[in-house]
Amino acid sequence: MDEATIWWVLGGLLVAVELATGTFYLLMLALGAAAGAVAAMLGASTSVQLAVAALVGGAFAGGWHFKRRSRAALAAASGALDDPIQAMDVGQLVTVTQWAADGSTRVHHRGSPWTARLRHPLPDGNVATTGIYRICHMDGNTLFIEKV
């Protein structure tokens, strides 16, 4: 069996184990194995194949880890970690086209209109501007947003 085939089999095994365990990081390591297979098909030495597989798999796994960590920090700051529905919405962007006199607005999110309010209301006399806003928190069917 040539080296490229070994890398492809290793990648397939990593995907199979990931499907059994639900550990997304194993998919990132499978990408590293695929990179090792490509390096083998290009005629790289075994040490280069190992280095490529380690760098690619490690970079993807590390990137995934930091993405999850930053998203979790954003959700924790807004108190959305307890509710998976809120965790799905926190950090998403919405467009505000106009504000109502009571300080609320209607935004289009997940295919339907939602009521939204500023996370931190402005002092009396100040008017919020239109534009792109980030969802920070949900309370029932009201989104709390802040300017990006």
pLDDT in tens, 121-144: 777 767 788 899 999 888 878 899
Percent of the chain with pLDDT over 70: 87
pLDDT confidence of residue 102: 82
- Asked whether the predicted pLDDT for residue 36 surpasses 60, the reply is yes
Residue 79 has pLDDT above 80, yes or no: no
Whether 81 and 72 have beta carbons less than 8 Å apart is answered as yes
Among positive and negative, which fits the CA dihedral 77, 81, 82, 83?
positive
Q: What tens digit of pLDDT does each residue of 2-27 get?
A: 999 999 999 999 999 999 887 788 99
- Cβ distance 145 to 114 under 8 Å? no
Contact (CB, 8 A) for 142 and 126: no
Asked if residue 105 has pLDDT above 80, the reply is yes
pTM over 0.75: no
For the chain, list the domains and their CATH numbers.
3-78 (no CATH), 84-147 (2.40.50.140)
The answer to whether the CB of 128 falls within 8 A of the CB of 103 is: yes
Mean pLDDT of all residues in 88-94: 85
Burial class (CB in 10 A: 0-12, 13-18, 19+), 98: exposed
Closest CA to 143 of 101, 114, 103, 112: 114
Residues 6 or more apart in contact with residue 120 via CB below 8 angstroms: 146
Q: In the predicted model, is pLDDT for residue 54 greater than 90?
A: yes
